[in-house]
Amino acid sequence: MQKKSETLAPEPEEIELKTAKQTLIVRWSDDHESFYTLRYLRGFCPCAECQGHEIGDWNFIESPTSIGIDSMEPVGNYALSIKFNDSHSTGIYSWEILRELCPCGGCRELYGDKHAMTKYPTH
Ligand SMILES: [Zn+2]
Ligand SMILES: [Zn+2]
Protein backbone atom coordinates (compact mmCIF):
# COMPACT_ATOMS: atom_id res chain seq x y z
CA MET A 1 0.00 0.00 0.00
CA GLN A 2 1.25 3.45 -0.87
CA LYS A 3 1.06 6.15 1.71
CA LYS A 4 -0.27 9.39 0.31
CA SER A 5 1.85 11.51 2.61
CA GLU A 6 4.96 10.08 0.97
CA THR A 7 4.09 11.33 -2.47
CA LEU A 8 3.12 14.74 -1.10
CA ALA A 9 6.25 15.21 1.00
CA PRO A 10 8.58 17.91 -0.31
CA GLU A 11 11.73 16.77 -2.10
CA PRO A 12 14.89 18.70 -2.88
CA GLU A 13 14.96 20.15 -6.37
CA GLU A 14 18.45 21.52 -5.96
CA ILE A 15 21.23 20.81 -3.50
CA GLU A 16 24.13 23.23 -3.54
CA LEU A 17 27.31 23.03 -1.51
CA LYS A 18 28.98 26.37 -0.78
CA THR A 19 32.39 25.13 0.24
CA ALA A 20 33.82 28.55 1.09
CA LYS A 21 30.93 29.31 3.42
CA GLN A 22 30.72 25.77 4.80
CA THR A 23 27.05 25.81 3.98
CA LEU A 24 24.66 23.44 2.22
CA ILE A 25 21.65 24.97 0.53
CA VAL A 26 18.58 22.90 -0.33
CA ARG A 27 15.79 24.21 -2.54
CA TRP A 28 12.61 22.19 -2.09
CA SER A 29 9.78 21.22 -4.42
CA ASP A 30 7.41 23.36 -2.33
CA ASP A 31 9.63 26.44 -2.82
CA HIS A 32 11.08 26.24 0.66
CA GLU A 33 14.77 27.01 1.02
CA SER A 34 17.04 25.60 3.71
CA PHE A 35 20.51 26.79 4.73
CA TYR A 36 22.55 24.39 6.83
CA THR A 37 26.02 25.06 8.14
CA LEU A 38 28.19 21.98 7.83
CA ARG A 39 28.88 22.06 11.57
CA TYR A 40 25.14 21.85 12.13
CA LEU A 41 24.61 19.09 9.54
CA ARG A 42 27.51 17.00 10.81
CA GLY A 43 26.46 17.68 14.39
CA PHE A 44 23.03 16.17 13.83
CA CYS A 45 24.16 13.31 11.60
CA PRO A 46 21.21 10.92 11.74
CA CYS A 47 23.22 7.68 11.85
CA ALA A 48 22.78 5.33 14.80
CA GLU A 49 26.35 5.94 15.96
CA CYS A 50 25.67 9.68 16.34
CA GLN A 51 22.05 9.65 17.43
CA GLY A 52 21.69 6.36 19.24
CA HIS A 53 18.26 4.85 18.95
CA GLU A 54 16.21 7.71 20.33
CA ILE A 55 14.62 9.15 17.23
CA GLY A 56 13.25 12.63 17.78
CA ASP A 57 15.67 13.51 20.55
CA TRP A 58 18.61 15.17 18.83
CA ASN A 59 22.13 14.65 20.00
CA PHE A 60 24.75 17.16 18.88
CA ILE A 61 28.24 15.95 17.87
CA GLU A 62 30.88 18.67 17.82
CA SER A 63 33.08 18.65 14.73
CA PRO A 64 36.48 20.13 13.89
CA THR A 65 36.21 23.81 12.98
CA SER A 66 37.33 23.03 9.44
CA ILE A 67 34.48 20.60 8.80
CA GLY A 68 33.90 19.95 5.12
CA ILE A 69 32.14 17.55 2.80
CA ASP A 70 34.29 15.17 0.76
CA SER A 71 31.41 13.84 -1.31
CA MET A 72 27.64 13.56 -1.47
CA GLU A 73 25.62 10.88 -3.17
CA PRO A 74 21.91 10.36 -3.61
CA VAL A 75 20.50 7.20 -2.05
CA GLY A 76 17.70 5.99 -4.29
CA ASN A 77 15.34 8.94 -4.59
CA TYR A 78 14.69 9.38 -0.92
CA ALA A 79 17.93 10.42 0.75
CA LEU A 80 21.38 11.96 0.54
CA SER A 81 24.49 10.20 1.76
CA ILE A 82 27.16 12.63 3.00
CA LYS A 83 30.82 11.83 3.50
CA PHE A 84 32.41 14.41 5.79
CA ASN A 85 36.09 15.25 5.87
CA ASP A 86 36.42 13.79 9.36
CA SER A 87 35.97 10.45 7.49
CA HIS A 88 32.46 10.02 8.88
CA SER A 89 30.31 8.65 6.08
CA THR A 90 27.46 6.70 7.67
CA GLY A 91 24.99 9.59 7.70
CA ILE A 92 22.01 9.02 5.42
CA TYR A 93 19.90 12.17 5.37
CA SER A 94 16.43 11.23 4.17
CA TRP A 95 14.44 14.11 2.70
CA GLU A 96 12.17 13.90 5.72
CA ILE A 97 15.06 14.24 8.20
CA LEU A 98 16.73 16.93 6.12
CA ARG A 99 13.54 18.93 6.08
CA GLU A 100 12.99 18.42 9.79
CA LEU A 101 16.52 19.74 10.38
CA CYS A 102 15.85 22.95 8.43
CA PRO A 103 17.01 25.65 10.84
CA CYS A 104 14.77 28.45 9.52
CA GLY A 105 12.40 30.25 11.85
CA GLY A 106 9.28 28.68 10.36
CA CYS A 107 10.53 25.12 10.74
CA ARG A 108 11.76 25.81 14.26
CA GLU A 109 8.32 27.01 15.16
CA LEU A 110 6.76 23.95 13.54
CA TYR A 111 8.76 21.51 15.66
CA GLY A 112 9.05 23.68 18.76
CA ASP A 113 11.21 22.19 21.50
CA LYS A 114 11.68 19.01 19.40
CA HIS A 115 13.67 20.94 16.80
CA ALA A 116 17.39 20.18 16.53
CA MET A 117 18.20 23.90 16.89
CA THR A 118 17.28 23.67 20.55
CA LYS A 119 20.30 21.36 20.99
CA TYR A 120 22.66 23.38 18.80
CA PRO A 121 25.44 25.13 20.73
CA THR A 122 25.55 28.74 19.60
CA HIS A 123 29.22 29.18 20.42
ZN1 LIG B 1 26.78 9.79 12.15
ZN1 LIG C 1 12.60 25.78 6.96
Residues in the 5 Å CB sphere of ion ligand 1:
45, 47, 50, 91
* CATH number of the domain bearing residue 51: 3.30.2020.30
Distance from residue 44's CA to the centre of ligand 2 (Å): 16
Query: What's the total number of domains in the chain?
Result: 1
pLDDT confidence band for 56 (50 / 70 / 90): low
Whether 45 is covered by a domain: the verdict is: yes
How confident is the model at residue 57, as a pLDDT? 84
Q: Cα of 46 to ligand 1 centre, how many Å?
A: 6
The pLDDT confidence band at residue 65, using thresholds 50, 70 and 90, is: confident
Q: How many residues in the chain?
A: 123
Task: State the pLDDT at residue 70.
Answer: 96
User: What percent of the chain is modeled with pLDDT above 70?
Assistant: 91
Distance 34 CA to ligand 2 centre (A): 6
Task: Let me know if residue 6 belongs to a domain.
Answer: no
Position 79 scores a pLDDT of: 97
Q: Is residue 5 part of a domain?
A: no
Q: Is the pTM of this model over 0.85?
A: yes
Residues forming beta bridges with residue 28, ordered by sequence position: 12
| Mean pLDDT, residues 28-42 | 97
Nearby residues of 54 by Cβ (< 8 Å), 6 or more positions away: none
Is residue 77 assigned to a domain? yes
Could you tell me the distance, in angstroms and rounded to a whole number, from the CA of residue 108 to the centre of ligand 1? 22
Domain that holds residue 64: 11-119
Residue type, 21: K
Kindly identify the ligand whose nearest atom is closest to the C-alpha of 91.
1
Task: Give the per-residue pLDDT at 64.
Answer: 84
> How many A from CA of 35 to the centre of ligand 2?
8
Q: Are 119 and 58 in contact (CB under 8 A)?
A: yes
- 59 inside domain: yes
Whether residue 4 is contained in a domain is answered as no
Q: What is the mean pLDDT of the chain?
A: 91
Q: Give me ligand 1 centre to Cα 1, in Å.
A: 31
